[in-house]
Chain A
Amino acid sequence: MSGSLIERPAGLHPPAFDPGYKTSVLRSPQRALISFPSTPSEETGPTFGHLPIGPHDNDLLINHARPGHTAIGERIIVHGRLLDECGQPIPNALIEVWQANAGGRYRHKKDGYLAALDPDFGGCGRMLTDAEGRYVFRTVKPGAYPWPNGVNDWRPAHIHFSIFGLAFGQRLISQMYFEGDPLIARCPIAQTIPDKAALDRLVAALDMSQTKPMDSIAYKFDIVLRGRRQTYFENRPEGM
């Protein structure tokens, strides 16, 4: 497809200003965003089909582990498809993920949570989607952790996703939650999403059909980026 990008629906993505998530208060633009039809600057984007993806880049269980070791925690497989709104699979797209370890601690110099670091877990991975837009990675289920917002706010278990489509205007960062987590409904960050159905789409389903018996449990998480208009009727330049 080569048409203009379909607009982002109002009310689907979280608003910039949400006082329940205190850091957003001073980091939210107050002026209305300026809308315009997409141009080549938004309709093109970096491609990553040439990237030298290592054999363990999508295996967080071992990609930061000492030889012969694996990360501590519940072993999980996360898989799904990357599609656009029109249902088209997005192939060769770069997906990067990061997360806390099984105890809820990030390997980041700014994270001082008292849960222990796991010497065999780094917490980052990456992969390219295949020709059908499929991706898969293996990791441990991250732990919940407290964060300074309210006095007693806890993040539900989540994995951060960074996704490139084929156009820079499709760029998206989001978070994947886990089916059945009671902290989702109590999380000020998850609750920045105004539409309950939209938030539900960030909750990965337990997928017993892809679970590896006696090894790893599986979750399925499909991702949908904004689409592009079909160019059935091109406007003639002199008509614009």
Chain B
Amino acid sequence: MVQKLDYLPQTPSQTAGPYVHIGLLPAVAGIENAPYAPVGQTIFDETAKGERITVTGSVIDGGGMTLRDVLIETWQADSEGRYPGQPGADPGVHGFGRCAVEPEAGLFRFDTIRPGPVALTGGRGAPPHITFWIVARGINTGLHTRMYFPEDDLSGDPLLARIEHRERIATLVAEKTDGGYRFDIRLQGPGETVFFDI
């Protein structure tokens, strides 16, 4: 006999489904008089330090089709690499964003500030990145990935060091464009984005 471990079993995930916007972004569902405004609509305010950037992109399925019903959440550090709630964090950076794609071109778009490198244990650091969490109809468990920046040296990132197929790291690096950065996410097949089990 042995003592029973008394941990509670996790609640399993289920797909967010096609109507996720009703709960999380009601205006996108066509609900104009929602009882409250959704969270995550401003990632920073005017007092925030750092470079203002715009990120756009698409989410593409294994058949090459752009998802129109996807919902994306982002989480990031301030320009010094500190997350909201951490000591010294920039009070003008909320860090959390939530967006849908506009139905014509299927592009998501959000304005934010360029995050700084994030300190890790042991004196190491992670290059600047924005965490993405992707949910939609047909996605059974929300997908985690990261967007890195093309200007940065990514060689020291211990997380990226775990990716054995080195050419796949390129799927995590945004492209610099005239208006900011472009970051496309491929759910499946050639050029499939690296997703993380975190």
The answer, yes or no, to whether B174 is at the interface (CB within 8 Å) is: no
Give the shortest distance, in Å, between A53 (CB) and chain B (any CB): 8
Give the shortest distance, in Å, between B71 (CB) and chain A (any CB): 9
The answer, yes or no, to whether A210 is at the interface (CB within 8 Å) is: no
Query: Across the interface, which residues of B come within 8 angstroms of A1, CB to CB?
Result: none
Q: Is the CB of B14 within 8 A of A175?
A: yes
In B4-57, the 8 Å CB interface with A consists of 6-24, 26, 29-31, 33-36, 39-40
Query: Across the interface, which residues of A come within 8 angstroms of B131, CB to CB?
Result: 41-42, 168
Q: Is the CB of B16 within 8 A of A8?
A: no
Query: Across the interface, which residues of A come within 8 angstroms of B73, CB to CB?
Result: 171
Give the shortest distance, in Å, between A186 (CB) and chain B (any CB): 16
In A189-232, the 8 Å CB interface with B consists of 189-190, 192-193, 195, 197-199, 201-202, 223-227
Q: Which of A26, A85, A174 has the most CB of B within 10 A?
A: A26
In B126-166, the 8 Å CB interface with A consists of 126, 129, 131, 133, 135-144, 146, 158-159, 162-163
Q: Is the CB of A26 within 8 A of B13?
A: no
Q: Is the CB of B9 within 8 A of A97?
A: no
The answer, yes or no, to whether A106 is at the interface (CB within 8 Å) is: yes
The answer, yes or no, to whether B69 is at the interface (CB within 8 Å) is: yes
Q: Is the interface of A mostly helix, strand, loop or mixed?
A: loop
Give the shortest distance, in Å, between A28 (CB) and chain B (any CB): 6
Give the shortest distance, in Å, between A179 (CB) and chain B (any CB): 16
Beta-carbon nearest neighbor of A100 in chain B: B19
Q: Is the CB of A189 within 8 A of B14?
A: yes
Given known A26-B188, A168-B75, contact A85–B7 (CB-CB < 8 A):
yes
Select which of A24, A41, A56, A223 is within 8 A of B138 by beta carbon: A24
Given known A124-B22, A240-B121, contact A38–B198 (CB-CB < 8 A):
yes
Q: Is the CB of B196 within 8 A of A34?
A: yes
Select which of B22, B158, B162, B194 is within 8 A of A108 by beta carbon: B22
Q: Is the CB of A27 within 8 A of B158?
A: no
Given known A39-B120, A173-B135, contact A14–B10 (CB-CB < 8 A):
no
Given known A44-B85, A108-B21, A124-B23, contact A199–B12 (CB-CB < 8 A):
yes
Query: Across the interface, which residues of B come within 8 angstroms of A25, CB to CB?
Result: 62, 138
Given known A29-B192, A46-B96, contact A85–B85 (CB-CB < 8 A):
no
The answer, yes or no, to whether B178 is at the interface (CB within 8 Å) is: no
Query: Across the interface, which residues of B come within 8 angstroms of A75, CB to CB?
Result: none
The answer, yes or no, to whether A96 is at the interface (CB within 8 Å) is: yes
Select which of B13, B21, B39 is within 8 A of A174 by beta carbon: B13
The answer, yes or no, to whether A107 is at the interface (CB within 8 Å) is: yes
Separation of A174 and B15 alpha carbons in the complex (Å): 7
The answer, yes or no, to whether B114 is at the interface (CB within 8 Å) is: no
Give the shortest distance, in Å, between A240 (CB) and chain B (any CB): 4
Separation of A141 and B107 alpha carbons in the complex (Å): 35
Q: Is the CB of B141 within 8 A of A87?
A: no
Separation of A227 and B10 alpha carbons in the complex (Å): 9
Q: Is the CB of A96 within 8 A of B11?
A: no
Query: Across the interface, which residues of A come within 8 angstroms of B118, CB to CB?
Result: 39-41
Separation of A100 and B86 alpha carbons in the complex (Å): 39
6 further A-B contacts with Cβ under 8 Å, apart from A47-B85, A226-B10, are A28-B138, A28-B140, A36-B198, A40-B83, A41-B75, A109-B29
7 tightest A-B CB contacts, nearest first: A98-B23, A23-B138, A109-B30, A46-B96, A33-B197, A27-B138, A44-B83
